[in-house]
């Protein structure tokens, strides 16, 4: 590489460093945040517990250390002394794409680096497992954050230890690094208090043109949400309408990306009159909007509107993720107020009602962290959606964070044009009051699952009073709402409950159009107390769970059909065309460049969603 490269590179590197220190001095960096200080203190406490336990049981650690030493010698012999003889001593987990390049296996130095790194990570995690006397929550935190450190240190993340990057840098005369620094500089500007690595080109799609294209209109709007009614595609429709409650921590159009994978469009084609809530993206003025407001001024108001527009006294309601939690809370609120049945049926997509099994999100759920996050939220009046997006990405850090770090900043590749990635990057804020309630009342104290745990509208919420027939669809590889946890929540309701387990994850397992015939699902009519017992007796079915749900929900819609309904009504005229205005509210994100490839990103994201 010539001198011009070094001059360009170090000049750009100096710009990035200056920008970083400017952000640090301004207090924008996460290093200055209450959350980071609480995280450091907690890590020190957990590490102290680990060291204290280790001192009391040295024999356990000696076994782990001796195993590491023996395998390290075997790696040396396998790679250096007897190359190409036998299988590797340590192999990457299935699906780990960091070491896909042939040089990791064929070139001794890189093979040695790879296996030594994998052994180091494996040993470090086994060390945590080997120490007795540490409470489960502390051990889970240590494991989670240690894994984060191990994967951040991966040799695939550094030019000098990644053969593919090293070769690319030489061949391009380092221009990949110069381009990468430009992308990094732009990402720093468009990030919040943590670096949000771009996943896609933010100019690639336009709402209403490329995605969220199902025809309809906004028939109601308040300060919290817009209600969209979709235009019928059949001459006659089911008498009972469908109301969808999406999560308020994401944009609703994950259910209406494109025609080929749109649940909304498919429901309309099946003859349903579909209404969907589109939540407003909170700003500082909404700091006091709480979970209760999302129930009373959100879901309950949407139910009233659906009834007024259609003239029907009941609807089939669907809630996705935290939207399902809202739906169950609203149903319990109606029961507590002894109101008439407003729902013919309720359906819950990957929904937690009992938060005793929070999954890896539990690493952030403890008194110190919750208090620190509350303090941090109070500074802005909301949790910045960009920070939340990074948090979820780091639950699958190798495939949803570090791979983009390598592709963008070290390879200098421009982001891809991919609808799912676009949605995933279209972050939404969460109001301070509501986010604090979610973390403390639901995740930390699990009060929704308790009698007299939380109040809404002046009445206690009791899930056991909910007698509405319900359908729970969870997904086997969900890392956000563990299916075993959603199963526990489903058992809290008193009505007839159908539980179905889809394949894949939190997103791909739900957005599973029948035409693709990609993922199957499991069914079991038995109502066992144990999730694992349920799964042991479950039968796998081919095809999408959508068709199974359609057969289930049909029993709650009379055979009698009605003429296709117009969008809106005299008292609820169409205010604007779908997708409305609230969904277009975006966080300040710097425009990005055009894409080069889609296939790689599509495979990675769908496998981790």
| Beta-bridge partner residues of 217 | 229, 577
Could you tell me which residues come within 8 angstroms of residue 44 by beta carbon, excluding any fewer than 6 positions away? none
Q: Which residues contact 339 (CB under 8 A, 6 or more apart)?
A: none
Angle (nearest 5°) at CA 584 between 580 and 589: 180
What are the DSSP calls for 198-264, one per residue? --B-TTS--BTTTBS---EEEEEE-SSEEEEEEPP-SSEEESS-EEEE--TTS-GGGGSS-GGG-HH
Q: Distance between CA atoms of 604 and 607, rounded to whole angstroms? A: 5
Q: What's the DSSP call for residue 416?
A: B
User: Of the candidates 246, 268, 240, which has an alpha carbon nearest to the alpha carbon of residue 341?
Assistant: 240
Question: Is the separation of the CB atoms in 315 and 229 below 8 Å?
Answer: no
Q: Which residue among 75, 237, 242, 321 is the active-site one?
A: 321
Q: Which residue has the tokens 């469908």?
A: 242
Q: How far apart are the first and last CA of the chain?
A: 40
Give the whole-angstrom CA distance, residue 49 versus residue 139.
9
For residue 532, the surrounding DSSP H or E stretch is helix 531-536
Smallest Cα–Cα separation from 200: which of 331, 393, 10?
393
- In sign, the C-alpha dihedral spanning 176, 24, 388, 33 is positive
Strands 315-320 and 521-523 come out as unpaired
Which residues is 245 bridged to in the sheet?
319
Q: Rounded distance, CA 229 to CA 146, Å?
A: 47
Q: Note if 321 is an active site residue.
A: yes
Cis peptide bond upstream of 3, omega within 30: no
Catalytic residue ranges: 321
């Amino acid at each position: 590489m010539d001198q011009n490269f070094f001059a360009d590179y170090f000049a750009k590197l100096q710009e990035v460093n200056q920008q970083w220190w400017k952000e640090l001095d301004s207090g924008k960096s996460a290093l200055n945040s209450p959350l980071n200080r609480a995280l450091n203190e907690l890590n020190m406490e957990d590490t102290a517990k680990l060291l204290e336990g280790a001192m009391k049981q040295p024999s356990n650690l000696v076994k782990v250390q001796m195993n590491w030493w023996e395998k390290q010698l075997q790696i040396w012999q396998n790679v250096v002394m007897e190359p190409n003889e036998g299988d590797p001593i340590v192999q990457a987990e299935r699906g780990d794409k960091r070491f896909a390049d042939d040089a990791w296996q064929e070139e001794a130095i890189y093979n040695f680096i790879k296996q030594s790194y994998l052994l180091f990570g494996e040993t470090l995690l086994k060390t945590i497992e080997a120490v007795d006397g540490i409470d489960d929550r502390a051990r889970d935190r240590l494991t989670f954050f240690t894994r984060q450190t191990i994967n951040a240190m991966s040799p695939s993340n550094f030019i000098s230890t990644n053969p593919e990057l090293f070769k690319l840098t030489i061949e391009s005369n380092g221009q990949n690094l110069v381009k990468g620094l430009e992308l990094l500089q732009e990402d720093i500007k468009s990030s919040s208090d943590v670096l949000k690595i771009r996943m896609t080109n933010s100019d690639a799609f336009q709402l209403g043109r490329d995605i969220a294209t199902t025809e309809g209109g906004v028939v109601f709007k308040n300060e919290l949400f817009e209600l969209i009614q979709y235009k019928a595609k059949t001459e006659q429709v089911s008498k009972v309408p469908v109301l969808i409650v999406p999560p308020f921590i994401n944009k609703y159009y994950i259910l209406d990306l494109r025609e080929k994978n749109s649940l909304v469009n498919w429901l309309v084609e099946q003859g349903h009159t579909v209404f969907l809530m589109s939540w407003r993206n909170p700003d500082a003025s909404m700091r006091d909007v709480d979970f209760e407001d999302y129930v009373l001024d959100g879901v309950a108001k949407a139910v009233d509107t659906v009834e007024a527009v259609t003239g029907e006294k009941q609807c089939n309601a669907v809630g996705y993720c935290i939207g399902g939690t809202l739906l169950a809370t609203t149903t319990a609120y109606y029961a507590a107020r002894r109101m008439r049945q407003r729902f013919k049926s309720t359906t819950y997509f990957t929904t937690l009602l009992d938060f005793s099994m929070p999954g890896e999100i539990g690493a952030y759920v403890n008194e110190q962290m919750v208090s620190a996050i509350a303090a941090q939220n109070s500074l802005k009046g909301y949790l910045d959606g960009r920070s939340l997006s990074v948090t979820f990405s780091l639950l699958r850090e190798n495939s949803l964070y570090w791979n983009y770090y390598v592709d963008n900043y070290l390879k200098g590749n421009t982001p891809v044009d991919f609808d799912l990635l676009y949605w995933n990057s279209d972050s939404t804020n969460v109001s301070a009051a509501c986010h604090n309630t979610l973390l403390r009342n639901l995740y930390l104290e699990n009060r929704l699952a308790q009698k007299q745990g939380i109040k809404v509208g002046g009445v206690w919420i009791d899930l056991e009073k909910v007698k509405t027939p319900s359908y729970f669809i969870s997904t086997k590889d969900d890392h956000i709402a563990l299916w075993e946890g959603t199963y526990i929540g489903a058992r809290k309701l008193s009505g007839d409950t159908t539980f179905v387990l889809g394949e894949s994850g939190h997103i791909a397992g739900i957005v599973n159009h029948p035409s693709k015939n990609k993922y199957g699902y499991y069914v079991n009519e038995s109502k066992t107390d144990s999730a694992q017992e349920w799964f042991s007796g479950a039968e796998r079915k081919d095809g999408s769970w959508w068709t199974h749900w359609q057969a289930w929900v049909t029993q709650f819609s009379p055979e009698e059909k009605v003429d296709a309904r117009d969008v809106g009504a005299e008292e609820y005229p169409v205010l604007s065309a779908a997708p409305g205005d609230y969904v277009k509210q975006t966080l300040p994100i710097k425009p990005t460049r055009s894409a080069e490839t889609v296939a790689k990103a599509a495979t990675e994201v769908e496998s981790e969603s």
